[in-house]
Structure 1
Amino acid sequence: MSDQSAPAGSGIGPARGTAGYAEAADALAVQYEEVTFGDVHGDVLQLVPAEPGRILDVGAGTGRDAAALAARGHRVVAVEPTAELRAHGQRIHADSGIDWVDDVLPDLVLSRHTGRFDAVFATAVWMHVDAEERRRAMARIATLLVPGGRFFVNLRHGPVPDGRHMFDVSPAETTELGAAYGLQTVHRSERPDLHGRDGVRWSCLVLQAADAADSLN
């Protein structure tokens, strides 16, 4: 995951992106589960697929969001490269039916999970990859979405915690990068930090792939 202290994610990205998460996994597991999927994604719940589908949660951390999506009837693949967080998730949400994967941005090999997804979530993880990695990651995610599929991104802004590897990524950059790979921004909003940390705020974006009808026009 990433800074899930607000949303959910654990620095995915190459090894440096996960810096600080293994050592703090026990405390982070408690922190991540203190807020709910609805708390984090309240502004975009209407855009989450209503019918059961296939969803990829990138940087799933303890699986808070993955479990909530599975409870809605979705088949969820949870990517989490930090073994300690993955172990907590497998314990906390043991009965959720989540399929856990050790994988990493920007390449997301997903060797056991071919095919496309109705939605991809990257909650509190996108800021852990640098500009070139973000380009590669967006290109990869675009290939993973079904026509009309949606990419949910939460961006953290504010002071970087000690020992973490983060970049200040703007909503505008993310929107432009998505557009370069055929993803249209259908939602953008801002919200304060759910844990009340000074100087920390969040941007919530949803980018959508063209649907089949649009691609024919």
Structure 2
Amino acid sequence: MEFLIEHTWDGLPVSHEPVSIGLRPDNAGLLMEIRAPFFNEPPAPPGEPGKPFGGLWDYEVVEAFFLSDRSEQYLEVELCPSDACETHVCHGQYLLLLLSGRRKAWKEQLPLEFEVTRMETRWEGKALLPWSYFPPCTDKFNAFAIHGSGEERKYEALYPVPPHQVQEGQEPDFHCLEFFKDLNLKELTGADWKQPESDIWKSLTK
């Protein structure tokens, strides 16, 4: 399964090669693969490579949101190219949040296996998302890419706000869950697959 982020958050075409996000199953979870232009703007966050970094959304980042539509519970994944990479594999910074209700994070900075290969003008990333991080009955998806600084900050979306619904003065908001679209994990894993139960999400209701 491959997705291309070809529009800004408000539905305009992007002016560069689109960010590509691939999803494929693994016994331990979902493998998320990124191929993206490397803008190097803003500079990399000052945190340690290979570790969670709070506020990563203020930097150059690719994000994916996996939503259970019925419960408004979702997994937010943020992945960043590492400043330490020079044409070899290393570990980039990341941030994972579990949210129950719109913008209501209840668990964050979960660990993640995330590797980055960075070239001069592009970067690639691979992250293994454990099944336990996905909310029960995950069935919706959206993805985003951000880069640039100040007035040149760009916000891009796989499923943007339809242009006719953009209000005057509206700001980009990646938590507009109503614009997420269907994601059928069985198309990846097989018709007989059942999403594994998650002790992490079970703990929310205890």
TM-score by shorter chain over 0.5 = no
| Higher radius of gyration, 1 or 2 | 2
With normalisation by structure 1, the TM-score equals 0.29
Whichever structure has more helix as a proportion of its residues is 1
Q: TM-score, normalised by structure 2?
A: 0.30
Higher strand share: 2
Q: Which has the higher contact order (CA 8 A, sep 6+)?
A: 2
